[in-house]
Amino acid sequence: MSVLGEIISTNLLADAGKPQGVIVSRAVQIEKKNFDYQIYLPSNIKTTGSLPVIVFLHGIRERGIGGLVPTEGTLSLILKQLLKRVPAIILLPQCRPANYWSDSPMEQMVVQAIQQTVGEFNADPNRLYLSGASMGGYGVWHFALKYPGKFAALVSICGGSPILTGDRFSPIAQKVGKTPAWLFHGAEDKVVPVSESRELVKALEVNQGDVKYSEYAGVGHNVWFNALAEKKLMPWLLSQKLG
């Protein structure tokens, strides 16, 4: 089962029967090719003022074409039951097969998708949050390195540094600066070494960054369950604002 599927399955019966938002599909054109992405719109999108946007970068098993989640059917219903707990627009780009978030077309797609989403739905550009798990966690640090000051907060779940040689962590901390960041990692992760998050945290602290770190003893790569269960995460995230 994919990471997304595991997360959804734990919320199968959550808040059944209550109002929920919708998942819509959009596309951007990069080098004459269309790249699809999806957006979750909360049910109060028409009555609420300028909403924040949470960008979620998925892991390696969710790579594909045509959208990360179905827009109709049972799976869509379950996902919307999960997402509706968040009073924000949630941007769900999808990385193409054999690609990574740091690849140029994927990077351009995410940046353009953010611009289109903010413009189309009158979202708050000062409350733009970047999150990701596993491969998406590496993506969080790639975008933080390339686009400093763009995001109001960062959430990295079992992620790591996209820099492959030399000093892999200090350059990221220097670019991130005071941007609030919360990192999650399982101490027994056999896929992404826990040292990746530990070293990032150390570099951010040395650089006097605004960093929080949650490491879980006895937990492996599926630390996203622990992150989702963190009751303080969403209030902390949504309280951050540029400027």
Q: DSSP class of residue 96?
A: P
H helices within the chain, ranges in order? 3-9, 74-83, 104-120, 135-146, 170-176, 194-206, 224-229, 233-238
Q: Domain 3-238's class? A: alpha beta
84 pLDDT higher than 80: no
H or E stretch including 107? helix 104-120
Average the pLDDT over 23-49 and give the result.
Answer: 86
205 pLDDT higher than 50: yes
The better pLDDT of the pair 50, 184 is held by 184
Residue at 109: amino acid letter: M
From CA 210, how far away is CA 67, in angstroms rounded? Answer: 34
From CA 69, how far away is CA 62, in angstroms rounded? Answer: 9
pLDDT band at 12 (very low <50, low <70, confident <90, very high): very low
208 pLDDT higher than 90: yes
Nearest to 57 by CA among 113, 10, 14, 120: 113
173 pLDDT higher than 50: yes
* Predicted structure pTM score: 0.89
Which of 141-166 are b and which e, b meaning 16 or more Cβ less than 10 Å from the residue's Cβ?
Answer: bbbbbeeeeebbbbbbbbbbbbeeee
Question: For position 74, what pLDDT does the model report?
Answer: 59
Q: Mind listing the pLDDT tens digit for each residue in 112-169? A: 999 999 999 999 999 999 999 999 999 999 999 999 999 999 999 999 999 999 999 9
Q: Mind listing the pLDDT tens digit for each residue in 54-63? A: 999 999 998 9
pLDDT band at 3 (very low <50, low <70, confident <90, very high): low
